[in-house]
Amino acid sequence: MVDFLLTDEQREFQQLARQFAAREIKPFAAKHDETGEFPREICKKAWEAGLMNTHIPEEYGGLGLGSFEGGLIAEEIAAGCTGIGTAMEANNLAEAPVILAGTDEQKKKYLQPMTEELIFAAYGVTEPGAGSDVASMKTTAKKVGNEYILNGQKMWITNAGVAHWYYVLAVTDPGKGHKGMSAFIVPRETEGLTVGKKEQNMGQRASDTRSITFDDVKIPAANLLGAEGDGFKISMGAFDHTRPLVSCAAVGLARSAMEAALQYSLERQTFGTPIFNHQAVNFMIADMAKDIDAARLLCWRSAWMIDKGLRNTKEAAMAKAFAADTAMKVATDAVQIFGGYGYSKEYPVEKLMRDAKIFQIYEGTSQIQRVIIGKQLLAEMKVPARV
Ligand SMILES: Cc1cc2nc3c(=O)[nH]c(=O)nc-3n(C[C@H](O)[C@H](O)[C@H](O)COP(=O)(O)OP(=O)(O)OC[C@H]3O[C@@H](n4cnc5c(N)ncnc54)[C@H](O)[C@@H]3O)c2cc1C
């Protein structure tokens, strides 16, 4: 039975997030975009409203919501501002591996406090020389007695500057490729760990992106997540839970751009009529509406699948690729509909176009999503991919 009706609880979360975005995010979005200031106060209010860390299980003080509810919230928050939304939502990506692979003790130590006060965490996998090709990363973790010693560098880590702890993927057995990688929780206040300067990004400028350097960073062996060699699997498995959310955020941005374009097209007149009445313009808006709906349905399906315990790697990649590409196209077309005004910072759509771009890059580029879809298709046919 397929049912597109939201439950009362889901609708309440959606409404709460929608009202929060309208009241606490949208009015401050331009300021944070201009200054790049991290939106700590807004995050604090969102945390108090129960809109952050929503998937931490109830036994650790969280709401234990699924990816579906997380996605509903992510779309609404993103409709307010995706820079502020990314600052809020990055915790989900750092927490997901701990929820999936952490011991009871690790969950109590690292997840529970996040339900008691506003704490940030960050997911550290990408390196200066390895992004899409995760298996070629170089950061090492060497076991010495009851500790691991980490050396290397991570790059482009969202919320690195504000995080209390990091999820870190490192090589423990260099001869074994991706099966020689292990996952760790690394507390911020550890000797030898340094955080780089905030990157000056094109869009989503309220979010904080930095490098992290590990110089003989010693952490207890108890901070290993899962078993040695499980790291790659844990890191990729987390994406099955978080890609539906980030895809929903792309839908939220696209929705905002479409609403702005529609409104403007009804006000702006050329040749004696609102530009909406020119078919070339209203077809662009019709395409926006159609693609946004299609993207949302892909997002909802992929979130629903993982919440039901079904493998959704292909569907989450489809949602991510389609929603990210839709956000980019809709935002670009919105700028077109605004004409010269679309190119100006005085109007909202140029920010949306800059903000949209990163959806095609982080949490796996749009090309990598297609690589994943292709691999999964072959796996479903049980045909070996040619090396
Ligand atoms: C603002 C921002 C925030 C980020 N946040 C995080 C974070 O919190 N944690 C984290 O770990 N990382 C984060 N990242 C890193 C992000 O996930 C990577 O930038 C991304 O995965 C791409 O890696 P790369 O930059 O090394 O590009 P590359 O891997 O070098 O790719 C370059 C280009 O080649 C294409 N390409 C590469 N391989 C293939 C292939 N096999 N087939 C087809 N095309 C291919 C890519 O699609 C891309 O277009 C963030 C990045 C940014 C910019």
Pick the atom of ligand 1 nearest to 158's CA. 8
CB 55 within 8 A of CB 96: yes
Compute the distance from residue 26 Cα to the ligand 1 centre, in Å: 28
Pick the CATH number of 8-120 from 1.10.540.10, 3.90.1150.10, 1.10.630.10, 3.30.460.20: 1.10.540.10
pLDDT for the residue 382: 79
CA distance 304 to 6: 12
Express each pLDDT in 264-282 by its tens digit.
999 999 999 999 999 999 9
Q: Which one, of 193, 170, 189, lies nearest residue 180 by Cα?
A: 170
pLDDT for the residue 3: 82
Express each pLDDT in 333-359 by its tens digit.
999 999 999 999 999 999 999 999 999
pLDDT for the residue 385: 59
The answer to whether the 8-120 and 233-381 domains have the same CATH topology is no
| Whole-number average pLDDT of the chain | 97
pLDDT class of 109 with cuts at 50, 70, 90: very high
CA distance 182 to 283: 50
Q: Is the pLDDT of residue 244 over 60?
A: yes
Buried b / exposed e over 111-129, threshold 16 CB at 10 Å, is: beebbeebbbbbbbbbbee
pLDDT for the residue 2: 74
Q: Is the pLDDT of residue 327 over 90?
A: yes
pLDDT for the residue 1: 58
Compute the distance from residue 170 Cα to the ligand 1 centre, in Å: 17
Instruction: Identify the H or E element spanning 105.
Output: helix 104-106
122-230: CATH number? 2.40.110.10
Which of 362, 369, 370, 373 is the best mutation target for the ligand 1 pocket, counting ligand atoms within 8 Å of the beta carbon and taking the most? 362
Left if phi > 0, otherwise alpha if psi is -120 to 50, otherwise beta: which for 204?
left
Which of 239, 365, 367 is the best mutation target for the ligand 1 pocket, counting ligand atoms within 8 Å of the beta carbon and taking the most? 365
CA distance 342 to 328: 15
Pick the atom of ligand 1 nearest to 154's CA. 11
Give the domain ranges of the chain: 8-120, 122-230, 233-381
Domain spanning 233-381: CATH 1.20.140.10? yes
Entry pTM = 0.97
75 catalytically annotated? no
> Which amino acids bring their CB within 6 angstroms of ligand 1?
122-126, 131-133, 156-158, 201, 209, 358, 361-362, 364-365, 367-368, 371
CA distance 21 to 27: 9
